[in-house]
């Protein structure tokens, strides 16, 4: 890295001073935008599924006019809020031990998904609703699903590898769905189950996919 240049001195035409003013405006605009994104995310996480510009302004401490000036519509702010939530919840995606008995790994995964899904639920439900009209949000959700599927594949790699090739891909798809967000949301909202009951259902589904059948079961199915 070369030497740090000294700040430019204003010329006769005042160009350096004008640049400083523009830099200041850009910083204030960025600060206002970040505050608006954080305010929107806070409102979503608090259970407000469709915050208005007025509510975002009140929460962020900036004017409604500024909120509208920062973006042409609220979709851009929603997309930024989804990205911001991924940053806020990144610490929840901790590596899980990929060794030990299958039931132990299932328990670890279910506990992990319960923490993650309960934390992201309010924003994720809004993102699901807006994904059809926003490529940015759809891309973010696709990335999130890839992260979750990869986690399942890595956690149960040895178990899946021991299966016949014809069953391996189907088993991964089934485990991915069983431990996925859509299944969790269905159990929590459509079925009305609490987190412990929903976790028990997910664990049962995973056990059915990943636990080898007993000798008696093999005989009955033969």
pLDDT number for residue 26 = 62
Neighbours of 129 (CB within 10 A): 13
Low-confidence ranges of the chain (pLDDT < 70): 1-26, 28-30, 71-73, 213-222
Residue 170 is predicted with a pLDDT of 96
Cβ contact 199:110 at 8 Å: yes
Please state the length of the chain. 222
Q: What does the radius of gyration of the chain's CA atoms come to, in whole angstroms?
A: 24
Q: Please report the pLDDT score of residue 115 as a whole number.
A: 94
pTM for this entry? 0.73
List the domain boundaries for the chain: 20-78, 89-213
99-116 pLDDT, tens digit each: 889 999 999 999 999 999
The DSSP 8-state label assigned to residue 48 in this structure reads: -
**3-state DSSP call for residue 134?**
coil
């Amino acid at each position: 890295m070369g030497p740090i240049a000294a700040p430019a001195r204003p010329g006769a035409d005042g160009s350096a001073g004008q640049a400083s003013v523009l830099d200041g405006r850009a910083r204030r605009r960025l600060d206002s935008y970040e505050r608006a994104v954080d305010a929107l995310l806070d409102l979503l996480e608090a259970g407000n599924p469709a915050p208005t510009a007025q509510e975002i302004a009140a929460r962020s401490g900036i004017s409604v006019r500024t909120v509208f000036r920062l973006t042409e519509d609220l979709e851009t702010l929603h997309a930024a809020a989804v990205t911001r939530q991924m940053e806020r919840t990144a610490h929840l995606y901790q590596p899980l031990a990929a060794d030990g008995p299958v039931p132990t790994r299932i328990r670890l995964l279910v506990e992990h998904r319960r923490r993650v899904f309960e934390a992201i639920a309010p924003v994720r439900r809004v993102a699901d609703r807006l994904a059809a009209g926003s490529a940015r949000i759809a891309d973010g959700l696709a990335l999130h699903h890839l992260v979750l599927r990869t986690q399942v594949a890595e956690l149960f790699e040895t178990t899946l590898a021991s299966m016949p090739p014809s069953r391996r891909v189907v088993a991964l798809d089934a485990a991915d769905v069983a431990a996925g967000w859509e299944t969790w949301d269905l159990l929590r909202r459509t079925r009305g189950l609490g987190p412990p009951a929903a976790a028990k259902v997910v664990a049962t589904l995973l056990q059915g996919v990943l636990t080898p059948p007993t000798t008696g079961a093999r005989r009955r199915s033969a």
